[in-house]
Structure formats: C-alpha cells, structure tokens
Amino acid sequence: MKIAVHQGSYAELPSAVATSGADLVIAAEMITTGYHIGARSHELAEPADGPTAARMSALARETGAALAYGYPESDGDHVHNSVQLIGPDGRRLANYRKTHLFGDIDRDWFAPGAEAVVQAELGGLRVGLLICYDVEFPELVRAHALAGTELLVVPTALMSPYELVADTLVPARAYESQLFVAYANRCDTEQELTYCGRSCVVAPTGEVLARAGSGPELISADVTREALAASRLENTHLADRRPDLYRGLSV
C-alpha cells in the first residue's frame, strides 16, 4: 500500500490527494480548523458524520484514496480532539478520540477519549489511529502492536523545540513495537506556536522511509505486510516479552 503524508494546509489537501497517487493520504491533527484556536474549537466542532465528513467522503470517492484527518468532534456536551479514517469508497472506517491530552491547549477545550485502540482494515493492513501526544506513551503504542495494528497513523501538531519527538521518538516507537508509523505534522504558525513539520513514515526496522522538512510538503512511502513480517522475524521484541513481570507497571 502506498501512503502519503500531507504536510500542508486544509485548503491544499484536495489537490494533494488528487496528485499523490496514494492509497491512503494522512493529514495533520485538527487540520480542518486549526489546533491552537481556543474556544473556536467548540464553535467549529462537528459530529463525526457532519458536513466536513461529507466533504472528505466525497474527496475520497472522487480520488479513490482513503483519508485520515484530524478535526474537532462534537458529541452531546463534549468536544473531542479526533481523527477520522475514510475509505476510498467514502465510507467511514474508524474514528478515534485523543486519549492523552497535552497541557492546557487540550485540557481546556477537549474531553479525553476513553478507547485506547481503534483500528480498521484497509488495503490488506490493519490500521490503528493515535493523535500527537498519544504516541509519546510507549504503553499505548505497544497496546496497538499487541492488538494487531500493522500501520499506526498519527496526525500531530508538534511544535518547536520538540523536534526530538519526530526525529528520535517516533522511529523508536516503530522499532520497539514492530509496526509502521506514519506521523503527519503541521508546518504553520498559530499564536505563539510554530509547528516544526518533519512528518515521517517509519518502517518497523526503524528506517525512515520518507521525511519532510519544515515547510509544506507531500511525502510518500510503500508499506507492506511482507516487510513487516520480515522485520518481526529479525526483531523478536514482541515474541520475547515477559508479561508476567510487567503486571505492576499498569498502576
């Protein structure tokens, strides 16, 4: 499966999808509205099947590419920082709500999600969803690996000076939990925040298959179940676990 990461604006997303030639295009955290927008998160929030979802479904059908994108999701009295996965036929495959909220930017405006592992089958792979800060918790990524996730999709809004997360931590997560990771960052500025870009697609070997710079860019890479199986034969972290020793780590 060919995947592409759109490191650019929402306005540029349709043309990026149309020219990507990808089976799956991944966009950033809260790409539809902006991330550091305070109360406007609530003003602009929509249900998972709202007007924005309808536009994204239409884009998927027109281009034949699946889409993963971040948006503010309204659900009754709550608003969640969410990512939605749309299939190439326009059908909604999965919706994940960010579980680990980052600082006041998240906690002041969003309710945390309650489901750690959200997955869907796409292009012969099991795709899992996380958002930004979530990937910095190894327990959560390992939970995905143990639940069968093969490609972990992570829309993000990583700002400077935390480039270490994109450059070092994300490849480490892919290697230690033996899965592909697609990390889709922003590269714009909101108030005092400058998003650092550096989106990437990383193999379970830890190899960075594609890496963006600090500006608008479309990157792509091929991910296959065969490459994953070969990596897991070489790297036996998952097979060599000792769960009997780890029980105390959950509290």
Which tens digit of pLDDT belongs to each residue from 221-232? 999 999 999 999
Q: For residues 86 and 92, what is the distance between their CA atoms, to the nearest angstrom?
A: 5
Whether 110 and 124 have beta carbons less than 8 Å apart is answered as: no
**Residues designated as active site:** 29, 98, 132
Judging by beta carbons within 10 Å of its beta carbon (0-12, 13-18, 19+), is residue 240 exposed, middle or buried? exposed
Q: For residues 149 and 201, what is the distance between their CA atoms, to the nearest angstrom?
A: 15
Whether 26 and 155 have beta carbons less than 8 Å apart is answered as: yes
Question: What average pLDDT score do residues 104-130 get?
Answer: 97
Question: What residues have CB less than 8 Å from 234, skipping those under 6 apart?
Answer: 205
For residue range 177-209, list pLDDT tens digits in order.
Answer: 999 999 999 999 999 999 999 999 999 999 999
Question: What average pLDDT score do residues 110-121 get?
Answer: 98
pTM as predicted:
0.97
Question: What average pLDDT score do residues 19-46 get?
Answer: 97
Whether 204 and 103 have beta carbons less than 8 Å apart is answered as: no
Dihedral angle of Cα 93, 10, 102, 247, to the nearest 10 degrees: 30
Rounded percentage of the chain residues whose pLDDT exceeds 70: 99
